[in-house]
Amino acid sequence: MALMSAREYIDSLRAMKTRVYMFGERVENWVDHPIIRPSISSVAMTYQLAQDPEYRDLMTARSSLTGETINRFNHLHQSTEDLKNKVKMQRLLGQKTAACFQRCVGMDAFNAVFSTTFEIDEKHGTKYHENFRNFLRMVQEKDLTVDGAMTDPKGDRSKAPHDQSDPDLFVHVVERRDDGIVVSGAKAHQTGSINSHWHLIMPTIAMGEADKDWAVSFACPSDADGIYMVYGRQSCDTRKLEDGNIDKGNMKFGGQEALVVLDNVFIPNEYIFLNGEYEFAGMLVERFAGYHRQSYGGCKVGVGDVLIGAAALAAEYNGADKASHIKDKLIEMTHLNETLYSCGLACSCEGHPTKAGNYEIDLMLANVCKQNVTRFPYEISRLAEDIAGGLMVTMPADTDFKSDTVVGKGGETLGDICNKFFAAKDGVNTEYRQRILRLIENMCLGTAAVGYRTESMHGAGSPQAQRIVISRQANLAEKKNLARTIAGIPQDK
């Protein structure tokens, strides 16, 4: 089976024994849970579009490992064209879901672990690269979704992993056996973890010799013995428990983050990709983060496209679309959004092959991309809220709009009154206005705001993490020489 259908993907989740907790209890049927299901629908879209003749070329690739057609989310990038197509695919998925579709963390982890294991083996004579190739071949052949899991809880940020009062604050090896290792710890705010068949665990920071036991990377099934997940709440998430679809904002799709706990999980040797070679932890982190910072130049842009469209419709329904300041705000939103896309494409165009043969992005430009993502979606959201008006946060419930309760002296119902006073331009159906305002609310303040706003800040590393890479890549010494030459100053002065 090279490509799964969306239905097959959802059914494959049902066959898993993934342990999920929410609101203090285990969720047995998490696949059909109304809070979780929208996030599954987003991942399912990555399967659906791969079988759609209109999008197949963008959504699939030829595997460098098997020669078979595979989903691009499981692909090792073979060229700058592949890197660009990745960003285009993510923009497309953002447009189709207006949410985080989660599967990119696996794709970015595959490419980072593939190249890093090659270089570890080169130095240490280990077999990690072969292990990883075998693992990825299986992932490609079964068309699995994998959570590339990096972020540890981290405890006291001023302390290294081995210095923490609780060693579990970073994932670590608790026992080494002939046939494998036993690991404990947790990964925090894991995108799509519950919806993933497997987890690919990586370290989260550069490490020293004393952190050897924490320098570990491996793969394990999401329902392996000892793994469980605690669902992360999202703003307005309980609206998903209500009847009707208007107040949900996004009727069908959503994102997902969870705490993934590893409680003495056994990992067989064949699934280990780093085990104590601490000096490679930093390389793995930098490569994964680089790819994921590129990713944001695609997914956030696609979601931004939906938000810009929603703001334009809100203006139209209000009869304000001809006002020059509204037109200018939409231009500004578009300019900011396309600037992010430009960054995503630029770091792809400037990509280069790694020693292992797959392509990686230009690190400087990928970090500039993500740094802009920590800012522009906030401004785009601000302008969307400006155009939408206050009603996006003061509008009564959809049940009020549909209520038969008589409230008026003339026998008017609550529904009549809502529809009377929340009508906009003549000829515009009030329900459409409700729908578009709730969608804007969802992306700026509701469940999708996790993916569009706060994740824009902290996902793929907080702003300071990018500034550190930017400062390392800035080559100020060379820039000073340029200035000296132009100004007629000797190079040593």
- Looking at the annotation, which residues are catalytic? 100, 104, 191, 257, 292, 296, 299, 455
Work out the angle at residue 154's Cα, subtended by the Cα atoms of residues 38 and 43, and round it to the nearest 5 degrees: 20
Report if residue 38 touches ligand SF4, rule: CB under 6 A: no
CB of 241 to ligand SF4, least distance (A): 24
Q: Which residues contact 270 (CB under 8 A, 6 or more apart)?
A: 131, 134, 135
291 is an interface residue for ligand SF4 by CB under 6 A: no
Given 58, 105, 120, 307, the residue binding ligand SF4 (CB under 6 A)? 105
Closest CA to 234 of 35, 491, 440: 35
Question: To the nearest whole angstrom, how small is the minimum distance from the Cβ of residue 474 to ligand SF4?
Answer: 25
Which residue lies nearer to Fe ion by CB, 377 or 459? 459
Residue 301 found at the interface with ligand SF4 (CB under 6 A): no
Residue 305 binding ligand SF4, by CB under 6 A: no
Question: Segment contacting ligand SF4 (CB under 6 A): 15-23, 101-109, 208-216, 244-252?
Answer: 101-109
CA distance 360 to 444: 32
Whole-Å CA distances, 274 to 13, 46, 162, 255, 461: 28, 29, 17, 30, 22
Calpha distance 93→59 (Å, rounded): 10
The least CB distance from residue 456 to ligand SF4, in Å, is 8
Number of other residues whose CB lies within 10 A of the CB of residue 67: 8
Q: Is 352:78 a contact under the CB 8 Å cutoff?
A: no
Q: Is 455 in the site for ligand SF4 (CB under 6 A)?
A: yes
> Which of the listed partners (ligand SF4, Fe ion, none) does 104 bind, with a CB threshold of 5 to 8 Å by partner kind?
ligand SF4
Interaction mask 397-436, ligand SF4, x per CB under 6 A: ----------------------------------------
**Residue 191 in contact with ligand SF4, rule: CB under 6 A:** yes
User: Which one of 35, 104, 246, 313 is in contact with ligand SF4 (CB under 6 A)?
Assistant: 104
Beta bridge partners of 218: 201, 272
Q: Are 439 and 250 in contact (CB under 8 A)?
A: yes
Q: Which does 101 bind (CB under 5 to 8 A by kind): ligand SF4, Fe ion, none?
A: ligand SF4
Binding residues for ligand SF4, rule CB under 6 A, total: 12
The answer to whether 430 touches 419, Cβ cutoff 8 Å, is yes
Binding track, positions 236-275, relative to ligand SF4; x by CB under 6 A: ----------------------------------------
Q: Which region, judged by CB under 6 A, interacts with ligand SF4, from 149-157, 295-303, 346-354, 388-396?
A: 295-303
Q: Contacts for 418-427 with beta carbons within 8 Å, 24 or more apart?
A: 422/391, 422/395, 422/396, 424/317, 424/318, 424/319, 425/316, 425/317, 425/318, 425/319
Q: Which does 299 bind (CB under 5 to 8 A by kind): ligand SF4, Fe ion, none?
A: ligand SF4
Q: Which is nearer to Fe ion, 40 or 414 (CB)?
A: 40
| Chain positions contacting Fe ion, by CB under 5 A | 459
User: Phi first, then psi: what are they for 180, rounded to 5°?
Assistant: 160, -160
Residues in Cβ contact with 182 at an 8 Å cutoff, skipping those fewer than 6 apart: 173, 174, 175, 264, 265, 266, 267
Sort strands 146-149 and 198-201 into parallel, antiparallel or unpaired.
Answer: parallel
Q: Provide the binding-site residues for ligand SF4, judged by CB under 6 A.
A: 100-102, 104-105, 191, 295-296, 299, 451, 455, 459
